[in-house]
């Protein structure tokens, strides 16, 4: 009864209607509410199958070296420590160490490399002015050239061939690159697990066909779309906006001056808190389920005659989206009960913001344990990257269980705070407020 009462209170509130409008608008704006026309079809021999990244030493090593060298010369390294771009400049000692690493990789002289960087470059290349220019001969060897005013003779004289030493093993290369990443403070493309980004190779017909078959067999097609829907939905709506709903519903009693009345009721604190929590969560998930089915239904007609899984959106709603929504609601309820203020907006807001800006640089980062909103942003052109999902399923499971567990702890915490308030042992931030008020009173008295 209590649950139904709370549910009714939630669903018929203006804030919930606003939440639904927000969810529709936000998901629609990302194109995840209507997938019609975005059909995945069996690859045909001879067409372009897109690219993929592969950990191939012969592709990765020259590309990574070239990139590192270009950044070294400019002393301007691009990193993504928390997803967002960060330009790193190194001091002389650190640049020297990078030069040593490049020398180690190429087998060249450290001093020679060190003096090519920045302004020294102009001095060492007499008669050549302008920016540096890296050119590749297509065989993993590249060389530097002056950009302007150079004549053929100078180019020939100053041409420095760069290539990875022949006896350099990939393990050793990775270790050196990891050291570069450490010097840069992490988050660079040179981190051992990010190096794969340099190994861009075209996808073959066989691979494209295998990926397509996997979508058909493992995802039953609708699974791929449901995953893309969940990716957007959880990142932009369900890991943040439910916090508003939780705060508004939690403060309603106080605004209506009913808190004290409720405290005197027989119902146990845990029951009141839990029923309220479940009611908000049910309302939030109702939106998720309805929207996911609207989204999924738009693709059904494109695949008539094929085996589709009509229950898969439900699995994604509860498996992928719900733990994030649970967390947002729990944070909202707990902090509101604890502080009597809407501080949860700031807390959840900053958390969500940082999480969203962590981006999707690598698959492992997208599925990392502490990701509030796991990401898997792959559409039909990437064949939904089903294999990545299968490979990372255990990580996803661990992540989602962690967030669900955290929410349960927060709900129990809310009930404990609620009970303490009821017994008059604790009254939110009233103590702090009173302390401030006392200070002001003292000041007023002394002025008088």
Partner 1 sequence: MVTPIIFGIANLNQTESAIPLEMFVSLLGIVLFTPIFQPEQKSEIADVVFPKCVSMNVIYLIRAIYTFFFLIAFIALFGVFMRLQKSDVTFLMLIGTVANAVFLGSLGMLAAVLTDNTIVAYMIPMVYYMLNYGAGRKLGNFYLFSMRTHNYQPKIWLLTTGMILIFLSLLIERLKKKMK
- What is the torsional sign of CA 30, 36, 42, 46? negative
Residues 145, 436: Cα–Cα separation, whole Å: 68
β partners of residue 188: 79
Dump the DSSP string for 238-251.
Answer: ITTTHHHHHHHHHH
Binding mask 290-329 for partner 1 (x = CB under 8 A): ----------------------------------------
Residues 329, 244: Cα–Cα separation, whole Å: 8
CA 378 to chain centre: 13
Residues 154, 367: Cα–Cα separation, whole Å: 51
Q: Which one of residues 201, 354, 435, 437 is an interface residue with partner 1 (CB under 8 A)? A: 354
The yes or no reply on residue 79 touching partner 1 (CB under 8 A) is yes
Nearest distance from residue 331's CB to partner 1, in Å? 14
b vs e for 341-356, b when ≥16 Cβ sit within 10 Å of the residue's Cβ?
Answer: ebebbeebeebbeebb
The yes or no reply on residue 89 touching partner 1 (CB under 8 A) is yes
- Point out which span in 84-92, 306-314, 391-399, 430-438 binds partner 1 (CB under 8 A): 84-92
Nearest distance from residue 262's CB to partner 1, in Å? 19
Q: Which one of residues 49, 162, 198, 244 is an interface residue with partner 1 (CB under 8 A)? A: 244
The yes or no reply on residue 387 touching partner 1 (CB under 8 A) is no
| Residues between 247 and 266 with contacts to partner 1, criterion CB under 8 A | 247-248, 251
The yes or no reply on residue 88 touching partner 1 (CB under 8 A) is yes
Per DSSP, 401 falls in state H
Dump the DSSP string for 103-153.
Answer: HHHHT--HHHHHTTSTTHHHHHSTT-EEEEEEEE-SSS-EEEEEEES--HH
- Point out which span in 22-30, 208-216, 262-270, 377-385 binds partner 1 (CB under 8 A): 22-30
Q: Please, what is the angle between helix 242-255 and helix 343-357, to 10°? A: 180
User: SS3 for 267?
Assistant: coil
Nearest distance from residue 86's CB to partner 1, in Å? 3
- Point out which span in 56-64, 87-95, 372-380, 435-443 binds partner 1 (CB under 8 A): 87-95
Size of the site for partner 1 (CB under 8 A): 35
Dump the DSSP string for 173-186.
Answer: HHHHHHHHHHHTTS
Q: Between 24 and 302, whose beta carbon lies closer to partner 1?
A: 24
The yes or no reply on residue 241 touching partner 1 (CB under 8 A) is yes
CA 40 to chain centre: 25
The yes or no reply on residue 120 touching partner 1 (CB under 8 A) is no
- Point out which span in 14-22, 135-143, 169-177, 217-225 binds partner 1 (CB under 8 A): 14-22
Name the token pair of 427: 């009254």
Residues 15, 23: contact at Cβ < 8 Å? no
- Point out which span in 46-54, 136-144, 239-247, 400-408 binds partner 1 (CB under 8 A): 239-247
CA 323 to chain centre: 16
CA 64 to chain centre: 24
Q: Between 162 and 241, whose beta carbon lies closer to partner 1?
A: 241
The yes or no reply on residue 26 touching partner 1 (CB under 8 A) is yes
| Residues between 29 and 58 with contacts to partner 1, criterion CB under 8 A | 29-31
Q: Between 254 and 271, whose beta carbon lies closer to partner 1?
A: 254
Name the token pair of 341: 């203020």
- Point out which span in 49-57, 281-289, 291-299, 352-360 binds partner 1 (CB under 8 A): 352-360
- Point out which span in 54-62, 78-86, 126-134, 402-410 binds partner 1 (CB under 8 A): 78-86
User: SS3 for 166?
Assistant: coil
The yes or no reply on residue 81 touching partner 1 (CB under 8 A) is yes
Q: Going by C-beta distance under 8 Å and a sequence separation of 6 or more, which residues neighbour residue 136? A: 62, 66, 142
Residue numbers at the binding site for partner 1 (CB under 8 A) = 14-15, 18-19, 22, 25-26, 29-31, 76, 79, 81-89, 236, 240-241, 244, 247-248, 251, 342, 345, 349-350, 353-354, 357
């Amino acid at each position: 009864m209590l649950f139904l009462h709370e549910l009714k209170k939630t669903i018929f509130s203006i804030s919930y209607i606003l939440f639904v409008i927000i969810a529709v608008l936000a998901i629609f704006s990302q194109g995840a509410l209507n997938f019609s026309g975005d059909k995945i079809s069996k690859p045909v021999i001879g067409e372009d199958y897109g690219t993929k990244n592969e950990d191939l030493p012969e592709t990765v090593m020259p590309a990574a070296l070239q990139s590192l060298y270009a950044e070294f010369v400019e002393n301007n390294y691009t990193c993504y420590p928390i997803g967002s771009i960060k330009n790193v400049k190194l001091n002389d000692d650190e640049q020297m160490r990078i030069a040593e690493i490049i020398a180690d990789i190429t087998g060249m002289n450290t001093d020679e490399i060190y003096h090519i960087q920045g302004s020294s470059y102009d001095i060492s290349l007499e008669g050549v002015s302008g920016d540096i220019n890296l050119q590749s001969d297509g065989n993993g060897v590249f060389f530097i050239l002056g950009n302007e005013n150079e004549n053929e003779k100078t180019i020939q004289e100053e041409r420095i061939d760069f290539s990875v030493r022949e006896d350099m093993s990939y393990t050793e290369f990775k270790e050196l690159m990891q050291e570069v990443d450490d010097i840069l403070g992490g988050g660079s493309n040179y981190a051992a697990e990010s190096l794969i980004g340099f190994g861009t190779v075209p996808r073959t017909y066989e691979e494209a066909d295998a990926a397509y078959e996997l979508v058909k067999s493992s995802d039953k097609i609708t699974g791929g779309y449901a995953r893309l829907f969940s990716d957007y939905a959880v990142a932009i709506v369900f890991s943040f906006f439910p916090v508003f709903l939780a705060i508004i519903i939690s403060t309603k009693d106080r605004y209506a001056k009913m808190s004290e009345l409720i405290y005197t009721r027989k119902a146990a604190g845990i029951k009141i808190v839990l029923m309220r929590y479940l009611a908000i969560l049910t309302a939030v998930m109702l939106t998720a389920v309805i929207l996911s089915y609207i989204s999924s239904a738009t693709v059904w007609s494109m695949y008539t005659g094929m085996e589709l899984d009509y229950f898969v959106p439900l699995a994604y709603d509860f498996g992928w989206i719900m733990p994030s929504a649970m967390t947002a609601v729990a944070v909202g309820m707990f902090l509101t009960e604890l502080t009597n203020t809407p501080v949860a907006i700031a807390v959840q807001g900053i958390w969500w913001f940082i999480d969203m800006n962590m981006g999707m640089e690598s698959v492992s980062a997208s599925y990392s344990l502490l990701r509030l909103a796991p990401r898997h942003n792959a559409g039909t052109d990437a064949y939904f990257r089903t294999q990545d999902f299968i490979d990372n399923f255990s990580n996803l499971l661990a992540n989602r269980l962690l967030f669900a567990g955290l929410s349960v702890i927060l709900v129990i915490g809310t009930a404990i705070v609620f009970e303490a308030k009821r017994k008059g042992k604790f009254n939110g931030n009233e103590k702090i407020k009173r302390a401030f008020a006392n200070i002001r009173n003292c000041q007023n008295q002394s002025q008088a």
